[in-house]
Structure 1
Amino acid sequence: MARTIAKDHDEKRAQILRAAARVFATEGFDRASMVQVAEGCGISKANLYHYYGGKDAILFGILDEHLATLRDRVCGLDLSGMPPDEALQTCLREILLAYEGADHEHRLQVDYTDKLAPEQQQALRGYQKELVGFVSALLMRNAPQVFSADAEKLRAATMSVFGMLNWFYMWNAGADAAERQRYAQLVTRMTLGGLPAI
């Protein structure tokens, strides 16, 4: 007879991913053991293996959940009725708000994605490409005369915006929602109008 899935199965998996992200980011993915992950989750090693087959599966679960949630939150925004500059600022604010509390996941994304199998890396890059494409489309909306004939310039501008957002993540991890809103406004103004705009 097949084993039934507990009612709290998905909740337990989510708890494991959160705790494992903390362990992996603190100890280093290569050094962390399944015993340490189990202890961090407050469960037995045997119970941990009931949910995930190994460290690689947990790492992929962490990054898949993190990036899929980020993609859905940002790309699901309805910005169609907003002026272009307001739409861009709203998008950037949402990205910064989504980064709040996700420091461990973000660090694992930067440092350990290459530990995963190629098909898993491709799946994660798919989420990132959708997010980049969403921001890129907003930049195009704001300055079609600049970007319409220059895809490389649009890509460079888009990645520069993400560079500014990632700077904030690296150096202002404890920032509250109001600080994130202010920084989203600064990035929007500087992106669209240069230094005189801020």
Structure 2
Amino acid sequence: MARTIAKDHDQKRAHILKVAAKVFAAEGFDRASMTVLAKACGISKANIYHYYSGKDALLFDVLDSYLRALRDRVCGLELAELAPETQLRALLREILLAYQGADDEHRVQSSGIARLPEAEQQVLRGYQRDMVAVMKRVVAANAPELFAEDAARLHETTMSIFGMLNWYYMWQSAADQAARLRYADVVADLVLNGITGTAGNTGTAGGGKP
């Protein structure tokens, strides 16, 4: 007879994933044994093995759950009816809001993907490529004459935007929603107008220091 799934299975799994992301981010993947992870989760070692066969499986699920949800949120934005600049601002805001509360997963992503088997890496990188494709379309729509025949410039601009977004947590980890929305507009102004375009944006991103 197949083992029945406990009613709180999904809730416990979500708890394990959140705690594991925190442990992986703080301790590093190599030092985070299943024993350490189980203790941090407040469950027995046997219990954590009920959910995951080992650290690699747990790492993949942390990243798969995070990146899949992020991809679905970003790629699910209804942008087609918006003006190009409005599309860009809406996309930047959505990404920064989606990052809120996920600093640990974000840290783990930067070093964790390469530790996984190639097939699993491809799944995760597929989510990333989907989000990059959305950003490229929006960026290109804002300057079609510039990017129409310069794919390299479009890629470089797109990845530079992600660079500005992805490292925000390093110097503004406590940023609330309002700060994130302000910073999204700073990035949009930089992209659309260059550094002089930030002159009219007098708000600070949550009071952070440079």
Aligned to 2:113: 113
Give the deviation of 1:148 after TM superposition: 0.7
**Aligned runs of 1:91-110 on 2, under 5 Å?**
91-110=91-110
2: CA distance between counterparts of 1:111 and 1:172?
Answer: 21
2: CA distance between counterparts of 1:124 and 1:92?
Answer: 21
Aligned to 1:66: 66
Unaligned runs of 5+ in 2: 199-210
Aligned to 1:14: 14
One-letter code aligned to 1:12: K
Cα shift readout 1:125-147 (whole Å, capped 9, x = no counterpart):
00000000000100011111110
**Aligned runs of 1:1-198 on 2, under 5 Å?**
1-198=1-198
1: CA distance between counterparts of 2:118 and 2:172?
Answer: 32
Count of residues in correspondence between the two structures: 198
SS at match of 2:133: helix
Answer 1 or 2: which has greater helix percent.
1
2: CA distance between counterparts of 1:164 and 1:33?
Answer: 33
Q: Please, what TM-score do these two structures have when normalized by structure 2? A: 0.92
Give the deviation of 1:169 after TM superposition: 2.3
Q: Please, what TM-score do these two structures have when normalized by structure 1? A: 0.98
Runs of 4+ in 1 over 3 A off after TM superposition: none
One-letter code aligned to 2:102: A
For the aligned residue pairs, the C-alpha RMSD in angstroms reads 0.9
1: CA distance between counterparts of 2:4 and 2:165?
Answer: 44
Cα shift readout 1:158-182 (whole Å, capped 9, x = no counterpart):
0010111123122111101011001
Higher relative contact order by CA 8 Å / sep ≥ 6: 1 or 2? 1
2: CA distance between counterparts of 1:98 and 1:187?
Answer: 16
2: CA distance between counterparts of 1:164 and 1:27?
Answer: 26
Cα shift readout 1:88-111 (whole Å, capped 9, x = no counterpart):
111111111111111111111002
SS at match of 1:4: coil
